[in-house]
Amino acid sequence: MKYLSPKADLTFKKVFGEHPDLVISFLNALLPFEKPEEEITWVEYLNPELVPQTPLQKDSIVDVRCRDHLGRQFIVEMQMLWTSAYKQRVLFNASKAYVSQLERGCDYELLQPVYSLNLVNDTFSSSDEYYHDYRIVERADTREVIEGLRFIFIELPKFTPKNYNDKKMQVLWLRYLTEINEKTREVPEDLLENPEISKAVTQLEEAAFSEAQLLGYDRFWDMVSTA
């Protein structure tokens, strides 16, 4: 069996942009939810194109965008190469999603949080940690938080599989992203034992893609290698 990498644009959007059960599992595993009632139980996909309010403003497209039963929005992006402007782009897209919730005359209390989850196949910080959680906090007392926007950045090259019992699904999903690629001939059994990961693996089988899709897949990697 031959597989494609889940980090490519084609495969990433297929796995997480077409299968609600998989993106729910992925988000619950990787977002910093602290209580069981915060976890996502249902999502609807939203238009990944964040259309500006006027033609003069900048348009932008994200990989995956969805909303849950509480009205919270989630933006998921796979970024292959780090750039100095990437954090600004993430802030721009999440802010557009946040402000687009309200129409004229609506109350601000109706606003729901926007979570931006960014998987980066590159390193950008001096920290040894691969997981970075950003939110708006008061400098002197970081327990004081302005809710609304939350940004998670994961540096995939820094991830090393460990037996985090309390974060088992996070480890499995990150192993899925980092261990499976064109060289994979046999997927580790412990990945296949999990129903969500096993389903996500089947989405990467080369035989499931058309010749035109495979050509687009190859062009994607050519662009990444020459960037």
Please spell the DSSP secondary structure of 158-210, one letter per residue: G------GGGHHHHHHHHHHHH-STT-SS--HHHHTSHHHHHHHHTTBGGGS-
Q: What is the DSSP letter of 3?
A: B
Please list the ranges in the chain whose pLDDT falls under 70.
Answer: 51-59, 104-105
Pairing relation of β-strands 73-79 and 64-68?
antiparallel
Identity of the residue numbered 199: K
Structure tokens at 111: 């606003």
Instruction: Give the distance from CA 201 to its chain's centroid.
Output: 17
Of the CA atoms within 13 Å of residue 68, those in its CB half-sphere come to 21
At residue 107, the pLDDT reads 87
Q: How many CB atoms lie within 10 A of CB 48?
A: 18
Of the CA atoms within 13 Å of residue 45, those in its CB half-sphere come to 18
Phi, psi of 120 (to 5 degrees): -115, 120
Structure tokens at 191: 């990945």
Q: How many CB atoms lie within 10 A of CB 108?
A: 8
CA distances (Å), 181 to each of 7, 19, 70, 169, 205, in order? Answer: 9, 20, 35, 20, 10
At residue 56, the pLDDT reads 43
